[in-house]
Chain A
């Protein structure tokens, strides 16, 4: 190995533009982007190999669909042609132009029901072509109108790396407190599944009843848990867009249809899962676009008779987003589900990008338009603990989500809760689970564990515990075939009457079957909200879902919001650290070396601390020292008649013997002004008060003195920043200016003041 000196390196290495060197480090460049490749199905909206829409009906049966004769139908075509298309409307619908149907989807004057009627008669290729005609904003309009349920909602992932039942229950209870109405868990260790299902069931019914729960595992095992009432809905029933991938998934449309009926026969709500990119990842996309293959999935979902679909941002989301139009395709997936009159559980389910900008760009459109479920799994726990892999938004992002709801005034389904509320439901859920596990002889967790769980952010905050406890509990649940009835009895025996009653209420409601209708959720009073009871009635501005005043208040009342009074509570502790006395009306000075510092009305009355964290006494001391170092004399004045710093500066300059004045607001904003300038044309301005340091105030004083002496000022460096200064400080700046406003005496002229420290 030879040593190469730095100079040799720099002389041989090609120089790189500094801007690109910086860009290379940006997180977006960790994402993979690929050139479209139709041969592999790596194309979002349209492949040259996508079939052209066609439909031929003979003697009441479909004999040709999307360019394929009946004899050539694969199993997916067969199922769709037999069960998925409304022959009563098919000829009328297929005769319509793609554009006419696309416009109908967007046009608020055309009722949702009419669009649904038409779409029931079109083929998969036709629906894909229709939605591909819509621009993104038109898709949002269509989603606003076409989603099934009027009231939007949201689903959570609740998991942890340890499958710790107490933590699962506590996190489930917290998710419900936040407003999630469906909770989905899964396992890193398959055999733990029964324990996870039980913990989730208990935690989900703490506080308010009615949240639906599921445990996402292999199809047959998942069904077994549901049969015993340990889960209340199912969603991991996967559909794929080609015969090969469908078969690789170890199912056929007929087995899935039977599964859908099996769930319904036991009163479980059920939806299927699909989503673009899966076929590409499984290497059998048959050269078709992701949109067309997903359209086949959605047609199959309708044909099978399931009430809903989870798609548009599931496991393959990042794959879809790697090609042009990827995010648009994902949104189109959700829209196709809605147009087929099915519940949309709208993805946002896996982290689509390393870039915060891109992942927000993926979620925001759906948040604005609203969906039956805006997320088919918001990661309500920490990103680390999400055993599905991270969602597009996670526990870390929940304050962002609350704020986004408030920013846009839209209902994303969640509400902020107080720390006391959250602590109470976490403790109740952990203790109830502790009690049931002990009572049923599943596992023993001590009180210390409960407290650890209550205060834990995620499973990394828990001590190791007994690593075999969960598996043994799960084996016991399975071995003894414990059911929801055992859980209810145990909750009641151990004193958790409310939770026992809530779980029992879920079972009672289940027998009514109203939740089997499309897009059903229970609200917090156990009322079913579905296509039947809460149909989307959007038909233009002024119609559709509107938040109640109390719901709007929940969204607006985030824990970070402060009143103007609360924003200035940091002033009080510094009160009186300098003493300012008025000595009489300010006269015009005659000393050419005199520089006046003019302060704002509330300075040293109600404002004591500047935005940079320096006290006003220190700010004044530094400016004065700077002036004196340059040989100037200082006179202090107050300008009580205005809060406008430009005016304060100009009035001050006109009082100064030198004609140079410094205007200073209590919040720390300062400027140098000269008597013959206009109010806004000052010499130097520190507009970003939070960033000004003591040294810079001193330099400001020095520069004012130089102006007074007719010398050139020195450049003051250090005001550059990448902070969102306005976001951080503007609210406090307004509160401090408001104090100046309250102290302002418009009829009073400037007064000379003395300052004592």
Chain B
């Protein structure tokens, strides 16, 4: 997979940031390894990461922003969770849904 990643390719302008994109399968493999080694939470984080690989940088930034305190309404978070499910990111969606529940109860919504 790494043959394309050469200094020559960079000099000739044939490399783009997309070429440095992680492979979700790699993150999945690392997640398996972390879990086999006794850290389920690290595994879960890496599985969420695998879901985020294909989300463009700007949307990723927006997703982070939406979860910060007092940034989103309940319905905005609910829509966000649904869109994440549709984009094949159920674990991230679950994180958002869980956040929405607590934000509501703890006054952290917008």
Asked if B2 CB lies within 8 Å of chain A CBs, one says: yes
A252 contact set on B, CB distance < 8 A: 67-69, 99, 102-103, 108
B45 contact set on A, CB distance < 8 A: 257, 260-261, 264, 304-306
15 pairs across A/B with beta carbons < 8 Å? A223-B61, A223-B64, A224-B57, A247-B108, A252-B69, A254-B102, A258-B64, A259-B64, A261-B51, A305-B44, A305-B48, A488-B11, A511-B5, A516-B30, A516-B46
B41 contact set on A, CB distance < 8 A: 83-84, 302-305
Residue of B nearest to A512 (CB): B26
1/0 contact trace for A64-108 toward B, CB 8 Å? 000000000011001100111010000000000000000000000
Considering only residues 301-339 of chain A, those with a C-beta below 8 Å from chain B are 302-307
Known contacts A252-B108, A254-B95, A508-B5; A262 and B26 CB within 8 A of each other: no
Q: Which residues of A contact B (CB under 8 A)?
A: 74-75, 78-79, 82-84, 86, 113, 116-117, 120, 219-220, 223-224, 227-229, 243, 247, 250-252, 254-255, 257-267, 302-307, 341, 483-485, 488-489, 492-493, 497, 500-501, 504, 507-508, 510-514, 516-518, 531-532
Which 3 pairs show the lowest CB-CB distances between chains A and B? A305-B45, A264-B49, A254-B99
Known contacts A250-B69, A303-B41, A306-B45; A75 and B106 CB within 8 A of each other: yes
Residue of B nearest to A252 (CB): B69
Residue of B nearest to A484 (CB): B20
What's the nearest-Cβ distance from chain A to residue B74, in Å? Answer: 14
What's the nearest-Cβ distance from chain B to residue A57, in Å? Answer: 17
B34 contact set on A, CB distance < 8 A: 517-518
Residue of A nearest to B68 (CB): A255
Residue of A nearest to B27 (CB): A513
What's the nearest-Cβ distance from chain A to residue B94, in Å? Answer: 10
B2 contact set on A, CB distance < 8 A: 508, 511
Question: Count of chain B residues with Cβ under 8 Å from any Cβ of A?
Answer: 58
Let me know if A261 and B48 touch, CB within 8 A: yes
- Give the CA-CA distance A685 to B15 in the complex, in Å: 79
What's the nearest-Cβ distance from chain A to residue B98, in Å? Answer: 6
- For chain B, what secondary structure do more than half of its interface residues adopt (helix, strand, loop), or is it mixed? helix
A229 contact set on B, CB distance < 8 A: 17, 20
Let me know if B61 and A224 touch, CB within 8 A: yes
Asked if B85 CB lies within 8 Å of chain A CBs, one says: no
A305 contact set on B, CB distance < 8 A: 41-46, 48
Let me know if B67 and A500 touch, CB within 8 A: no
What's the nearest-Cβ distance from chain B to residue A82, in Å? Answer: 6
- Give the CA-CA distance A78 to B103 in the complex, in Å: 10
- For chain A, what secondary structure do more than half of its interface residues adopt (helix, strand, loop), or is it mixed? helix
B55 contact set on A, CB distance < 8 A: 265
- Give the CA-CA distance A227 to B59 in the complex, in Å: 12
Known contacts A78-B102, A86-B40, A492-B11; A485 and B16 CB within 8 A of each other: yes
B65 contact set on A, CB distance < 8 A: 220
B108 contact set on A, CB distance < 8 A: 75, 247, 252
B19 contact set on A, CB distance < 8 A: 485
Let me know if B30 and A514 touch, CB within 8 A: yes
Let me know if A488 and B20 touch, CB within 8 A: no
What's the nearest-Cβ distance from chain B to residue A489, in Å? Answer: 4
A251 contact set on B, CB distance < 8 A: 68-69
A263 contact set on B, CB distance < 8 A: 49
1/0 contact trace for B1-16 toward A, CB 8 Å? 1100111101101011
Known contacts A78-B102, A489-B13; A507 and B92 CB within 8 A of each other: no
What's the nearest-Cβ distance from chain A to residue B79, in Å? Answer: 16
Let me know if B50 and A265 touch, CB within 8 A: yes
A508 contact set on B, CB distance < 8 A: 2, 5
B49 contact set on A, CB distance < 8 A: 261-265
- Give the CA-CA distance A635 to B52 in the complex, in Å: 94
A501 contact set on B, CB distance < 8 A: 7
A74 contact set on B, CB distance < 8 A: 106
